[in-house]
């Protein structure tokens, strides 16, 4: 499962500059169509595993980033352009709100206004989605179909709150309501990560960034501060030259590392590995998922026919330098169906073929 995020923001927020900082894609600002890129998730453990196994193939985890043109206030009303643009981020795992925290000659800085404007555009699109579903279920509900009645009730409740400008992600939905809404893939229900786009990292503690941080904390959402223009320039450098320039900006990590770490925390994602002489592969699952579910990320047959999982901790492998030495030290474990995958697990799945 690769991670996917959609960048949304107002015009002149520096959204595409942030996209370039993360992907090094050099996409043109003020474009009229979407930008899309896939980048590898940086993980220093992969290099160590490659050194131990020397495989010909390495498959890292990936981040897909979708950047749509800026949302003009009111652009989603009456099937406007915003509806079409937002359609491109309906399937992403999380939305990244890029908020301008730098001076602009046309408009004063106002993070709260910008966040509210984005929320409202998503809400208008979601109201249309819910209305379409309610209309579609009306006939079944009229004849007493219990499932249709429950779904109409959930959709109507959520739509009413949306009409009061409350995004679905802030509506404290029950599990049953979430299930009723699942096929709708509501935009305002998606987890949100905030990016404060500043002129320089010296503004990381400025008034605008602090205001956005407070808004993020109120939603229990992560915030990443980026000097988009500077970091986009760094992304164009050779990999070996980037650390020195990042240090000049006062940064220990690249923008992609900071954003991915925040996104993993937001979505409660964790990484595990399969490793051997043929391949080192990074897999992603959600925290708390059990061994059979994680095995299904590798192949659906492994989940269906799951027998057991042999597990080595990354740290133990690095310490002992081989699987045989780990086993001799008594550090290799055999886990069953209830085992919850831990970050850094190196696994072998035993399963029956069907």
Residues 87-110 have pLDDT tens digits of 899 999 999 999 999 988 778 999
Residue 78, pLDDT score: 60
CATH superfamily of 288-351: Beta-grasp domain (3.10.20.30)
CA dist 89 and 95 (Å) reads 8
Tell me what pLDDT residue 287 has: 94
Residues 6+ apart with CB under 8 A from 296: 302, 303, 304
Give me the pLDDT at residue 200, please.
85
Residue 240 makes CB contacts below 8 A (sequence gap 6+) with: none
Angular region, 14: left φ>0, alpha ψ -120 to 50, beta rest = left
Structure confidence at residue 1 (pLDDT): 55
Task: State which residues of the chain have pLDDT below 50.
Answer: none
pLDDT tens for each residue of 186-219 = 999 999 999 999 988 888 888 999 999 999 999 9
Query: In what order do the strands lie in the sheet containing 345-351?
Result: 57-59, 279-286, 269-275, 345-351, 306-313, 333-335
Distance separating alpha carbons of residues 199 and 221, to the nearest angstrom = 23
């Amino acid at each position: 499962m690769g991670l996917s995020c959609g960048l949304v923001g107002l015009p002149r927020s520096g959204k595409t500059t942030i996209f370039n900082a993360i992907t090094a894609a050099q996409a043109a600002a003020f474009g009229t169509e979407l930008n899309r890129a896939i980048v590898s998730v940086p993980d220093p453990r992969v290099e160590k595993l490659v050194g131990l196994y020397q495989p010909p193939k390495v498959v890292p985890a990936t981040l897909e980033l979708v950047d749509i043109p800026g949302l003009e206030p009111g652009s989603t009303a009456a099937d406007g352009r915003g509806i079409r643009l937002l359609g491109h981020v309906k399937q992403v795992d999380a939305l990244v709100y890029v908020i301008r925290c730098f001076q602009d000659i046309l408009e004063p800085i106002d993070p709260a206004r910008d966040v509210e404007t984005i929320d409202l555009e998503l809400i208008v699109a979601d109201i249309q989605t819910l209305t379409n579903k309610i209309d579609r279920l009306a006939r079944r509900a009229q004849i007493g179909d219990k499932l249709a009645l429950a779904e109409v009730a959930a959709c109507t409740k959520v739509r009413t709150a949306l009409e009061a400008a409350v995004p679905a992600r802030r509506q404290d939905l029950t599990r049953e309501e979430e299930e009723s809404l699942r096929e709708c893939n509501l935009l305002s229900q998606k987890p949100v990560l905030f990016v404060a786009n500043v002129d320089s990292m010296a503004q990381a503690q400025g008034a605008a960034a602090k205001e956005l941080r407070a808004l993020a904390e109120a939603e229990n959402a992560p915030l990443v501060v980026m000097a988009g223009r500077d970091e986009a320039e760094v992304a164009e450098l050779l990999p070996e030259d980037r650390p020195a320039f990042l240090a000049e900006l006062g940064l220990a990590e690249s923008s992609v590392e900071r954003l991915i770490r925040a996104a993993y925390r937001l979505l409660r994602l964790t990484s595990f590995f399969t490793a051997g002489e043929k391949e080192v592969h990074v897999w992603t699952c959600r925290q708390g998922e059990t061994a059979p579910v994680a095995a299904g990320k590798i192949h659906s047959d492994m989940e269906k026919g799951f027998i057991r999982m042999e597990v080595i901790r990354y740290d133990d492998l690095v310490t002992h330098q081989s699987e045989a030495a780990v086993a001799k030290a008594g550090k290799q474990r055999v886990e069953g169906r209830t085992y919850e995958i831990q970050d850094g697990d190196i696994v072998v799945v035993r399963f029956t073929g069907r």
